[in-house]
C-alpha cells in the first residue's frame, strides 16, 4: 500500500457536503469564501529526526526547514502564509541550547514572511519531532487546486530539480511570490509543490484532475550535478509544478520574478498511454515504501 492509498483508507469518511470546504487530497485544506472573496488555507506538516534530517544537522536549519515545508504548501495554493503553531516532540536527554537554536531558525523564517508565531504544544517523543500548523489565505481570488487541470493544458515547473540533498533541502526558498502571481492572474489552472519528487507529484496532480500526461524528457530542468532519475525521484525540491491553458501560456513571458520557468509537457486524456521511458521514472519519496 502506498502512502496515498493508506491516507485514503484512513480518511474515507471525512468528506464534507459543505461546498465551502476542500479537505484531504490537496496541498492544503481550504475554507472558501464566495466568488472573489478571501479563502482560508490550513496546513499541518511535520519533520522527524532520522527521516527529514539527521541528528548532526545544523539546528537553525532544522527549524527553518520545519516551517519552510508548510509555507511551500501554502505557496502551492497561491496563498499568503499568516499564522503558525508549533508542536515540539522532545526525546529524552534533549539539549535545551539545541532546541533554542531550532526555534531561532523557525523565528527567522517567520519574520522573513511576516508570519505570526502564536504558540503550540510540547510533548515527549522517542525522536525529535517538529510539527507546524500554518494558516494562510488567498485575498480576492480563488486558491489553485490540484484537481482543476484540463486536457491540453501545458505543464510547467519553476526552478530546477534534483540533487536536493547537496544543494537545497535545508535552504530552499518557498515559492510564495511565484504561486501568488500565478493564482492572482488566473494563469495556473492546477498546481502542486514538488515535495516528494516529480515522479510522484505529477501523477498525483493528474489523478486529481482525472487526466494523464505527456512529457518531453529533454526539457526537464535538472539541477547542476543531478541525473534525470534524481530530478524525478529524489524529492524535496519544493518547486511549483503547475498547468496553464495554451491560450494563457504567453502571459508567462510577463513573469515578474527571477525564478526560471520551464515547460515540460502537456496534460492528456485519462486514456493516454504514458511512454515507457517516462513510466520508468515515475517514482519518488513515499513514507510507506522501502528506499
Locate the domains of the chain by residue range: 3-138, 154-279
C-alpha cell read off for 109: 523564517
β partners of residue 212: 268
Q: Cα-Cα-Cα-Cα dihedral of 212, 218, 224, 225, to 10°? A: 90
> pLDDT tens across 5-56, in order?
787 888 887 788 788 888 777 889 999 887 667 999 999 999 999 888 888 8
User: What's the chain look like in SS3?
Assistant: CCHHHHHHHHCCCCCCCCCCEECCCCCCEEECCCCCCCEEEEEEEEEEECCCECCCCCHHHHHHHHHHHHHHHHHCCCCEEEEEEEEEEECCCCCHHHHHHHHHHHHHHHHHCCCEEEEEEEEECCCCEEEEEEEEEECCCCCCCCCCCCCCCEEEEECCECCHHHHCCCCCCCCHHHHHHHHHCCCEEEEEECCCCHHHHHHHHHHHCCCEEEECHHHCCECCCCCHHHHHHCCCCCCEEEEECCCCHHHHHHCCCCCCEEEEEEEECCCCCCCHHHHCCCCCCCCCCCC
For residue 55, the model assigns a pLDDT of 86
For residue 270, the model assigns a pLDDT of 96
- In terms of Cα–Cα distance, which of 102, 205, 101 is closest to 157? 205
162 in the Ramachandran plot: left (φ > 0), alpha (ψ -120 to 50) or beta? left
pTM: 0.92
For residue 23, the model assigns a pLDDT of 78
Report CA-CA distances (Å) from 219 to 138, 262, 263. 31, 7, 7
For residue 89, the model assigns a pLDDT of 96
Question: In a structure prediction context, what are the per-residue pLDDT tens digits for the chain, which is 291 residues long?
Answer: 777 778 788 888 778 878 888 877 788 999 988 766 799 999 999 999 988 888 889 999 999 999 999 999 999 999 999 999 999 999 999 999 999 999 999 999 999 999 999 999 999 999 999 999 999 999 999 999 999 999 999 999 999 999 987 768 899 999 999 999 999 999 999 999 999 999 999 999 999 999 999 999 999 999 999 999 999 999 999 999 999 999 999 999 999 999 999 999 999 999 999 999 999 999 865 555 554
For residue 97, the model assigns a pLDDT of 97
CB 232: neighbour CB atoms within 10 A?
28
For residue 289, the model assigns a pLDDT of 56
Measured distance CA(169)–CA(171) in Å, rounded: 6
For residue 285, the model assigns a pLDDT of 57
CATH number of 3-138: 3.30.1330.10
218 in the Ramachandran plot: left (φ > 0), alpha (ψ -120 to 50) or beta? alpha
- Contact between 211 and 269 under an 8 Å Cβ cutoff? The reply is yes
Instruction: Note the Cα 284 to chain centre separation in Å.
Output: 14
Instruction: Note the Cα 38 to chain centre separation in Å.
Output: 21
Measured distance CA(19)–CA(3) in Å, rounded: 27
For residue 290, the model assigns a pLDDT of 55
CATH number of 154-279: 3.90.650.10
Amino acid at each position: 500500500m502506498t502512502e496515498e492509498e493508506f491516507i485514503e483508507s484512513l480518511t474515507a469518511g471525512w468528506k464534507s457536503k459543505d461546498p465551502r470546504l476542500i479537505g484531504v487530497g490537496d496541498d492544503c485544506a481550504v475554507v472558501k469564501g464566495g466568488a472573489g472573496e478571501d479563502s482560508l488555507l490550513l496546513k499541518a506538516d511535520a519533520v522527524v529526526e532520522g527521516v527529514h534530517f539527521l541528528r548532526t544537522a545544523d539546528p537553525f536549519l532544522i527549524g527553518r526547514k520545519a516551517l519552510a515545508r508548510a509555507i511551500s504548501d501554502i505557496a502551492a495554493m497561491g496563498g499568503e502564509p499568516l499564522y503558525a503553531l508549533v508542536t515540539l516532540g522532545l526525546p529524552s536527554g534533549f539539549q535545551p541550547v539545541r532546541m533554542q537554536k531550532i526555534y531561532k531558525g523557525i523565528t527567522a523564517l517567520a519574520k522573513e514572511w511576516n508570519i505570526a508565531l502564536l504558540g503550540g504544544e510540547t510533548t515527549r517523543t522517542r525522536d525529535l519531532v517538529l510539527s507546524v500548523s500554518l494558516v494562510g489565505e488567498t485575498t480576492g481570488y480563488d486558491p489553485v487546486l490540484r484537481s482543476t487541470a484540463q486536457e491540453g493544458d501545458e505543464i510547467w515547473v519553476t526552478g530546477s530539480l534534483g540533487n536536493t540533498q547537496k544543494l537545497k533541502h535545508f535552504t530552499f526558498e518557498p515559492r510564495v511570490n511565484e504561486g501568488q502571481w500565478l493564482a492572482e492572474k488566473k494563469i495556473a489552472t492546477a498546481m502542486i509543490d514538488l515535495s516528494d519528487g516529480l515522479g510522484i507529484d505529477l501523477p498525483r496532480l493528474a489523478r486529481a484532475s482525472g487526466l494523464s500526461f505527456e512529457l518531453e524528457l529533454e526539457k526537464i530542468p535538472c539541477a547542476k550535478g543531478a541525473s534525470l532519475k534524481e530530478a524525478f525521484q529524489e524529492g524535496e525540491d519544493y518547486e511549483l509544478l503547475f498547468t496553464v491553458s495554451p491560450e494563457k501560456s504567453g502571459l508567462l513571458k510577463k513573469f515578474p520574478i527571477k525564478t526560471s520557468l520551464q515547460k515540460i509537457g502537456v496534460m492528456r486524456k485519462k486514456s493516454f498511454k504514458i511512454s515507457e521511458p517516462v513510466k520508468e521514472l515515475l517514482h519518488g519519496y513515499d513514507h510507506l515504501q522501502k528506499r
